[in-house]
């Protein structure tokens, strides 16, 4: 058996280890503005986790993200990537090490898909065979057929273009990724697909990711941790999704997560994650369904309990309204 490299997770070519990202009193003040756009932001994103910046427009979430790769200069405070201040780095070198995905995608219309994906590897001076192999690997990773590589962005659908945008950001295997509303311009059905795909991808590649969105549902779904920002660039709460739903730090957070936060909490769990009682019949519910969807099923059938089944259709237990109510209240 060949020696195994335990330091790297398994993947097509073995991924570079993710890095920790730290905001230390990071502040952005624009000349002439009354209040800072980002006000003394301090938080740490552990390596390999998705941190979602969420908040209403004007809360400084995109500004905060863009300070990481110095697309926007830091006025005071600091940001550390893997323990190193971004201010000490050569700006172009820094950016080549950080994956960058924006809502408008920004594929180069005059470059083929393969050339688009190869942008950063070329800047880094990789040789041609290595680049070609990497492009092939990434097309597989994002589930696009190889013959797409010779097409131009205008020949792809919105969802395909978005996948290529992600592949391009991943091309040089950056330890850190910045994603600014990456699925914002995609229709709801495809957005959900892309979100799921991306979470599956992340389970494999384990990057440190800053993900900006204005959509709290997307934040709850995508984030290992969520940073809720309020207007004026102040951090209102930084915690895991369930913590934020269970214990909102203040009224602003409570308002922002919405009146249905008990339901949102149920959406964090799958039926297989919870303790099931004995089955008392009722509509069949798959064990992989979200608890919220199971509740919706029960309500739709006007049933007080459901029959939980596995992939083979075998009953594995039962779920009841009382159990769900207890779960939502917790």
Partner 1 sequence: MILAQLQIRGEDDAGDSCVADNGFCPSWIADNWERYQDPFLEHLALTLISVAIGFVIAFGLALVAHRRRWLIPPITQITGILYTLPSVALFFLLLPLTGRGKTTAVIALVAYTLLIIFRNVITGLEGVPAEARDAGRGMGLTPRQLLWRVELPLALPAIMAGLRIAVTTTVGLTALVFLAGAGGLGEEIFNDMQFRSNVVVAGGLCVLLAVVLDLLVLAAQKLITPWTRKVAT
Which residues of this chain interact with partner 1, rule CB under 8 A? 69, 71, 91-96, 100, 102, 104-111, 119-120, 123, 151-152, 154-156, 165, 168-169, 178
Q: Between residues 97 and 297, which has the closer beta carbon with respect to partner 1?
A: 97
Q: Which is nearer to partner 1, 18 or 172 (CB)?
A: 172
Residues 311 and 316: their CA atoms lie apart, in Å, by 10
The CB-of-159 to partner 1 minimum distance in angstroms stands at 13
Closer to partner 1 by CB, 69 or 230: give it: 69
User: Which CB sits closer to partner 1, 66 or 265?
Assistant: 66
Least distance between partner 1 and beta carbon 161 (Å): 11
Distance (Å) of CA 193 to CA 161, 197, 208, 304 = 14, 6, 21, 31
Closest approach of partner 1 to the CB of residue 108, in Å: 6
Token reading at 175 = 């330890």
CB nearer to partner 1: give 28 or 95.
Answer: 95
Measured from the CB of residue 178, what is the shortest distance to partner 1 in angstroms?
8
Smallest separation (angstroms) from partner 1 to the CB of 140: 22
Collapsed DSSP state (helix, strand, coil) of residue 19: coil
Question: Would you call 215 exposed, middle or buried from its count of C-beta atoms within 10 A (0-12, 13-18, 19+)?
Answer: middle
SS3 185: coil
Kindly tell me which of 30 and 108 has the beta carbon lying closer to partner 1: 108
Residues 6+ apart with CB under 8 A from 100: 69, 169, 177, 178
Of 126 and 152, the one with the shorter C-beta distance to partner 1 is 152
326 Cβ neighbours under 8 A, 6+ residues apart: none
User: In the bound complex, what is the minimum distance in angstroms from residue 160's beta carbon to partner 1?
Assistant: 11
- Contact between 38 and 233 (Cβ < 8 Å): yes
Residue 51 phi, psi dihedral angles, 5° rounding: -110, 120
The residue with tokens 């391009």 is: 168
Give the 3-state secondary structure percentages of the chain, helix then strand then coil, rounded to 5.
Answer: 40, 20, 40
Tell me the CA distances in angstroms from 75 to 38, 40, 78, 153, 239, one per residue in order.
9, 10, 9, 37, 26
Using the minimum distance from each CB to partner 1, give the nearer residue, 119 or 307: 119
Question: Considering only CA atoms, which of 177, 180, 114, 123 is closest in space to residue 149?
Answer: 114
Q: How far is the CB of 57 from partner 1 (least distance, A)?
A: 18
Rounded to the nearest whole angstrom, what is the least distance from the CB of residue 191 to partner 1 in the complex? 19
């Amino acid at each position: 058996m060949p020696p195994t490299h335990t330091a790297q997770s398994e993947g097509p070519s073995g991924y570079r280890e993710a890095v920790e990202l730290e905001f230390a009193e990071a502040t952005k003040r624009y000349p002439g503005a009354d209040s800072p756009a980002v006000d003394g932001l301090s938080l740490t994103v552990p390596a390999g986790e998705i941190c979602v910046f969420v908040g209403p427009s004007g809360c400084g979430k995109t500004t905060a993200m863009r300070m990481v790769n110095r697309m926007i200069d830091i006025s005071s405070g600091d940001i550390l990537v893997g323990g190193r201040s971004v201010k000490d780095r050569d700006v172009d070198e820094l950016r080549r090490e950080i994956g960058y995905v924006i809502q408008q995608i920004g594929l180069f219309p005059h470059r083929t898909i393969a050339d688009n994906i190869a942008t950063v590897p070329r800047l880094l001076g990789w040789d041609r065979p290595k680049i070609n192999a990497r492009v092939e690997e990434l097309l597989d990773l994002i589930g696009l057929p190889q013959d797409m590589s010779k097409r131009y962005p205008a020949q792809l659908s919105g969802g395909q273009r978005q996948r290529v945008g992600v592949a391009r950001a991943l091309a040089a295997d950056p330890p850190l990724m910045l994603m600014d509303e990456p699925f914002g311009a995609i229709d709801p059905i495809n957005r959900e697909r892309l979100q799921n795909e991306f979470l599956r991808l992340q389970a494999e590649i384990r990057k440190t990711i800053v993900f900006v969105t204005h959509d709290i549902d997307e934040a709850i779904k995508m984030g290992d941790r969520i940073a809720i920002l309020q207007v004026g660039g102040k951090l209102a709460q930084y915690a895991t999704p369930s913590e934020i739903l269970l214990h909102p730090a203040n009224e602003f957070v409570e308002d922002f997560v919405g009146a249905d936060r008990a339901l949102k909490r149920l959406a964090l769990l799958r039926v297989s994650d919870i303790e099931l009682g004995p089955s008392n019949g009722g509509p069949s519910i798959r064990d992989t369904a979200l608890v919220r969807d199971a509740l919706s099923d029960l309500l739709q059938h006007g049933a007080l309990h459901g029959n939980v089944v596995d992939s083979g259709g075998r009953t594995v237990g039962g779920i009841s309204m009382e159990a769900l109510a207890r779960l939502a209240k917790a």
